[in-house]
Structure 1
């Protein structure tokens, strides 16, 4: 065949006018397709409408005939406490209804002193009254609420199972779901004040303090095995400091809650502090002062903080360590440490509590600490500067705590050379702090594309001014890759669906800190969900995609990469207060804030089914 010069010219012109999408490595593979493609045949057959609903019926979970114990009971553990606890009870504080007219004004911890704690915080637009004032008895979950939703067309195709001891559950925190903030002896925390500075808050939240038995039954009916919650320090010790009275109502409440979890056939996971430091530690500071790093002043840098936290932890552990298998000391401490002194105090306080738990109580459960870090990946993995930026990102966020606690290693140079007042730990300190965690807790909601600042990292470090928004991390964090694509499908806020980055992150954590990894939180706020009608909120396919893709990558990390991931806790079991508003709904249940009614979302069913079908005992 002869081709004319004019024909060749025409082809060249078309090629210049239109870019053709031709992959250089071949189109996507389909490894699940092992048979040769079959030729179709066409035929007629009788037609009929079919409608198949699969119903999961709620059944009562029998109370366990025996409960495993992990530490001595309180009657034996109390002898190990640093201070002799004295218990008492106080009333409730309702603004403009509670008069401080107690006759015990000479008692530094009496009713008048307790009421003054709240009075002196001076909260504006404060509301606390909800629908309930006492614990609500649970009712059976109607089978109509447990009808499986329609499946999404595409789904995971893996054939892996979770290890037999894999921890799967759901998580929440006291400040975000409990409500009852000034009731039954609870003292004020920084959270009430922080949000009150910017907008009125509905302090009722989800009223879990009174509805916990019903909430636990709902979770058990869905097949959840682990329930993670936090205990507010200020509900146990309203005056916060060692030697002050213990709130008997608070002790009794969490005793009942833990027993309710066990009776429902689940296991409790307890966090000792989740952003809700007692107001005592910041009451004399400017709560809105600009931190050296993180978000807010959690009071961790206060000179009384370490001894006070250890005393609080000892009281809680002595009461509940016998029945709780897993403990978290601090939730995401980077965000509230405020400065280097705060982070340093966190590390020392954590180590002391760990030694009390294992060395003094001889407890056999697990204790760890949980961090925030939206994994910093190099924007261009072939660019050495971007790789350096990603390593620095991890050192500042994780190495600060991880080096001494998990490796017995010194603070990273990036920390010592950047943070004001930073100083090395002594050999004695490192020996005491080293290996004081049984798991590395991480909250890997999403990823961050990281590169060097235009002026370079070193110049950024030296430029510690208010105008330098990149200090102290001194890297550029973005949500697009080097080609301008978003790193994943975006949620309402900072969360992008980034499952493959999660797998890479788990590899980094396991191979860097050499400790089993617990995914302590992960979740997804569907864009604009709060403005949708109830049926559309319930059918939350983007959240299902997020959870199932993340869990699929966890399985790959376990089976293909040898990473020891001990569990994953979904955030959150209900739409809650996300430290500022209710618009960002992370929950797997819709919450009607007026009636307090809960509704299961599709993602809850999808996640439970994914895990259940991949358990050896299923």
Structure 2
């Protein structure tokens, strides 16, 4: 398995140089001019009095908004593509009111208001009462200049001379269930996210309101554009477009109109919209019992992917979205982090094949000039001791299970890795015809590299663990920790995880590029500062220096990966553009803006200014 990772001797040297723990004595080395033979080391300072005066100065800088350019077309408009999804009927529904006194009277219509309401009744949501502040789209207002004044620069600044390559995409990201709210408005039906909060109870915050972005999307886009953000990645909920989920059911006109307007508004502000088709929010219709979804062998939960009707239904939904928006949207992601909601081998088979079908639909039938990709996840496994072959093998096993399971067939036309096949007994074998069809069906590799994991093999062996589904280490079958052989953590402890040190990020990017041989886009990267939610003073929340350090370190190492390691990194998207709902709580503040949960007011944090300033200073026109 080691040979799948180490593909070039020069890259081997680079990786080992970043991972080997070299013994050293004494303090850190300083620049040559600071050595004992340098000019400052042997000089004696001269002390003297002078007339005191306040000499510090303040330079007031303001953020530069993105400038709209000429509109770009990536495919024919829907009118020319509608024949690819024939017989679409559109309709509208109302809002679900759990305490409504009047019942719908169109019970004979299988897709009428009564049938639509029945889906919500079956969901039986806990404590669904508050609908938020807004009930219609809010007109945007310009961001005042006073809010765009940059904070004082950090004292220690990167000293690099690198620039991001032309065409590098720096942007921000968000997902529907985490920001939109309005879950039962304008025809949307329930999703897995409304009934699932990972390991939490009904008393924990739900996604019913979140940031009310569904009605505040224009103001959110206005604020992003004012900061100079050009690329905006967001997801569209399947159930806002097809409330009854399946092919042959009506399309929600209000849903289409909403995202049509969102896309047009983003473009008018000079931004480029990137669309994800599913971000964990599977329609509830794919579950016989939404509150009892059966055993899970792989990820966090059952995303419905193994349902026998899922693949055809998802592909149909993707075709509806692509045909309507492909003329203006340059990038479509099929799945977000599919590993996390694949419950078994059938689910993986569904993800791989439905992704490939949509890729072919976009390029072969729509003939779009944009790109189609998938967003993968992996807490990058690094060997605790890179000098030990068994630790290296464990790290490879860990990464291949999570990444190569999808990336082997999609990027290389290769079979599933042994790490997956030896662990998941019900995996669906890929035929030669499958591999030929799936091979090359991604235009780049999307990755969400939040953290690293230090890995060693279990004492009883990986194979023994993989053969025993009740083993406590199943399914990854390695020991996972956050400290190296020295005992130190690999990074700063955040609210929910240890963030990856920059060295491991650079190694990770090299691993992805050299293993799967496609450009890499960092589709999410972010950092929830520890105990930020406990700050009662707004100014303390806004001055989020640890997050600023994280972003600058992350992008500095990305530049080194590009220029020093030859890795093609094509973009990076900060997660998230505002504090949001983190699948059961609001305490993990990933945002580069605060959100007042009472007024829904947004405020820029220091990290937002610092990251856009870092990128702007290194962007080639």
Q: Same fold (TM over 0.5)?
A: yes
Which among 217, 221, 226 is matched to residue 222 of structure 2? 217
The answer to whether 1:555 aligns with 2:566 is: no
The answer to whether 1:421 aligns with 2:423 is: no
| Counterpart position of 1:3 | none
Which among 322, 339, 342 is matched to residue 347 of structure 2? 342
Deviations 1:374-395 (A, max 9, x none): 1000011111111110000011
Shift, 1:44, TM fit: 4.5
| Counterpart position of 1:588 | 592
- Could you say which structure has the greater relative contact order, defined with CA pairs below 8 angstroms and 6 or more residues apart? 2
Shift, 1:231, TM fit: 0.3
| Counterpart position of 1:507 | 510
Which among 361, 379, 383 is matched to residue 378 of structure 1? 383
The answer to whether 1:134 aligns with 2:139 is: no
The answer to whether 1:71 aligns with 2:75 is: yes
Shift, 1:31, TM fit: 5.3
- CA–CA separation in structure 2 for the residues paired with 1:33 and 1:616: 32
Shift, 1:293, TM fit: 0.8
- CA–CA separation in structure 2 for the residues paired with 1:446 and 1:578: 17
Deviations 1:426-475 (A, max 9, x none): 0000000000000101100110000001111111112221xx22111101
| Counterpart position of 1:12 | none
Deviations 1:568-607 (A, max 9, x none): 0000000000001001110000111000011111111110
- CA–CA separation in structure 2 for the residues paired with 1:32 and 1:306: 62
| Equivalent residue runs for 1:272-287 within 5 Å | 272-284=277-289, 287=292
The CA RMSD over aligned residues, in Å, is 1.9
Shift, 1:482, TM fit: 1.5
Shift, 1:128, TM fit: 4.3
| Counterpart position of 1:18 | none
| Counterpart position of 1:94 | 97
Shift, 1:272, TM fit: 0.5
The answer to whether 1:404 aligns with 2:406 is: no
Which among 322, 335, 345 is matched to residue 327 of structure 2? 322
- CA–CA separation in structure 2 for the residues paired with 1:572 and 1:204: 17
| Equivalent residue runs for 1:446-465 within 5 Å | 446-465=451-470
The answer to whether 1:526 aligns with 2:529 is: yes
Shift, 1:198, TM fit: 3.7
| Counterpart position of 2:318 | 313
Structure 2: any 5+ residue segments left out of the alignment?
1-21
| Counterpart position of 2:481 | 478
Is the contact made by 1:222 and 1:608 (CA closer than 8 Å) also made in structure 2? yes
| Counterpart position of 1:153 | 155
- CA–CA separation in structure 2 for the residues paired with 1:531 and 1:390: 36
Is the contact made by 1:53 and 1:147 (CA closer than 8 Å) also made in structure 2? no
- CA–CA separation in structure 1 for the residues paired with 2:151 and 2:63: 15
- CA–CA separation in structure 2 for the residues paired with 1:61 and 1:429: 44
| Counterpart position of 1:117 | 119
Shift, 1:144, TM fit: 1.5
Which among 573, 576, 581 is matched to residue 577 of structure 2? 573
| Counterpart position of 1:247 | 252
The answer to whether 1:261 aligns with 2:266 is: yes
Shift, 1:347, TM fit: 0.4
Any idea what SS the aligned residue of 1:561 has? coil
| Equivalent residue runs for 1:141-220 within 5 Å | 141-195=143-197, 198-202=202-206, 203-220=208-225
| Counterpart position of 1:28 | 28
- CA–CA separation in structure 1 for the residues paired with 2:147 and 2:65: 15
Is the contact made by 2:63 and 2:150 (CA closer than 8 Å) also made in structure 1? no
| Equivalent residue runs for 1:12-51 within 5 Å | 24=24, 27-30=27-30, 36-38=38-40, 39=43, 40-50=45-55
Larger radius of gyration: 1
CA distance 1:454–1:61, change in 2 (3 Å): closer
- CA–CA separation in structure 2 for the residues paired with 1:319 and 1:553: 38
CA distance 1:213–1:286, change in 2 (3 Å): closer
- CA–CA separation in structure 2 for the residues paired with 1:395 and 1:462: 17
Is the contact made by 2:506 and 2:560 (CA closer than 8 Å) also made in structure 1? yes
- CA–CA separation in structure 1 for the residues paired with 2:487 and 2:139: 54
Shift, 1:127, TM fit: 3.2
- CA–CA separation in structure 1 for the residues paired with 2:371 and 2:33: 43
Which among 538, 541, 551 is matched to residue 537 of structure 1? 541
| Counterpart position of 2:18 | none
CA distance 1:30–1:440, change in 2 (3 Å): farther
Shift, 1:32, TM fit: 9.0
Is the contact made by 1:231 and 1:271 (CA closer than 8 Å) also made in structure 2? yes
CA distance 1:181–1:341, change in 2 (3 Å): same
Deviations 1:327-378 (A, max 9, x none): 1110000000111100110000000000000010110111100011110000
